[in-house]
Amino acid sequence: MQIIHTISELRQTVTSFRQAGKIIGFVPTMGNLHQGHLQLVEMALSQADIVICSIFVNPLQFGEGEDFEQYPRTLQEDADKLQQAGCDIIFAPAVAEMYPDLELDGQAQSQVQSQVIVPGISNILEGAARPGHFTGVATVVAKLFNMVQPDKAVFGAKDYQQLQVIKQFVSDLCFPIEIIAHPIVRESNGLALSSRNGYLSEVQKQQASAIYQTLQDLSKQIIAGAQNYEELEQQAVAHLNAQGFVTDYISIRAADLSAATASHKHLVVLAASYLGTTRLLDNIEIEL
């Protein structure tokens, strides 16, 4: 496995694989890899000849006061895991390689010239709570796509809204890349795997499984025919908050994240809830 830090070396390497007719699979990450990431790599390996995994903690997608500085950087451990998983190349650029004009002591987004904005969908749910977050995500993913030039890219379904934003700009801007969603990987108690789970104590990790249980209960009610979506959302929020969470939203939506109506057959229920200071996300998709 090769570890590459510069765009020029990455381009050279990718060009030689392309010339050899290889299908390139890509897994973008911010590192601190867990089993969920390794399953994305596994899926990419099953569909491509060469798998490239990027590790880059992207300052553009963190707002003021968020955990950009604290976000765990564990390149050596990540490299060991990726080598074991069969990954071919790690692309781990420095911030200066990705954003040459950025100074990290200021507001990152105001210093970057060209950005990928996906209006509408970027401003609801996670985007309402974290203004600018999805512009930061879409911009870095578009840059990485241009650097790696993959045929396929794999993303986890835990970040459901992120996946929709990426699918939207890939379609709108005609990137010739197949976007593949990997189902959420969970702990045995149902907690969705996330690098941010590392911020939770052991007791909190047990408590946190209540989010998935709440989403499951809610989805069972919908499958059984309940259509009073607003009431269901409010009850679910109250249920979680009674267990010590501070819930930002539980939202029943159509698959494209527009408002859910009785005529929608593919729904998604999304949750964002704080346990202590950790914001946890989860979702369940429902086919009626």
Known catalytic residues are 37
Site string for ligand PAF, 145-164 (x = CB under 6 A): --------------x--x--
Q: Judged by CB under 6 A, does residue 125 bind ligand PAF?
A: no
- Give whichever of 19 and 70 is closer to ligand PAF, judged by the CB atom: 70
According to CB under 6 A, which one of 10, 24, 116, 140 is a site residue for ligand PAF? 140
Q: Are 175 and 149 in contact (CB under 8 A)?
A: no
180 contacts ligand PAF (rule: CB under 6 A): no
The answer to whether 58 touches 140, Cβ cutoff 8 Å, is yes
Q: Does 121 bind ligand PAF (CB under 6 A)?
A: no
Contacting residue, 24, 25, 26, 29, with ligand PAF by CB under 6 A: 29
Count of C-beta atoms within a 10 Å radius of residue 130: 18
According to the binding rule CB under 6 A, does residue 108 interact with ligand PAF?
no
28 or 93, CB closer to ligand PAF?
A: 28
H/E stretch holding 261: none
Stretch that binds ligand PAF, among 18-26, 71-79, 134-142, 237-245 (CB under 6 A): 134-142
Residue that the structure tokens 């050899």 belong to = 20
Q: Can you state the percent helix, strand and coil of the chain, rounding each to 5?
A: 45, 20, 35
Instruction: By CB under 6 A, tell whether 141 contacts ligand PAF.
Output: yes
User: Which CB atom, from 33 or from 218, has the smaller least distance to ligand PAF?
Assistant: 33
DSSP reduced 3-state for 5: coil
H helix runs in the chain, sequence order: 7-19, 35-47, 75-85, 95-98, 108-111, 126-129, 133-148, 160-172, 202-207, 209-223, 229-241
How near is the Cβ of 222 to ligand PAF at its closest, in Å?
27
The reply on whether position 55 binds ligand PAF by CB under 6 A is no
Residue 32: CB atoms within 10 Å: 19
Please state the closest distance from residue 207 (CB atom) to ligand PAF, in A: 24
Q: For residue 65, how many C-alpha atoms fall within 13 Å in the half-sphere facing its CB?
A: 4
Q: Nearer to ligand PAF by C-beta: 140 or 280? A: 140
Site size toward ligand PAF, by CB under 6 A: 10
Question: Binder to ligand PAF among 10, 14, 24, 30 (CB under 6 A)?
Answer: 30
Q: Decide: is 270 part of the binding site for ligand PAF (CB under 6 A).
A: no
CB atoms within 10 A of CB 188: 6
Residue 29: count of CB within 10 angstroms of its CB? 22
Footprint of ligand PAF (CB under 6 A): 28-30, 58, 61, 137, 140-141, 159, 162
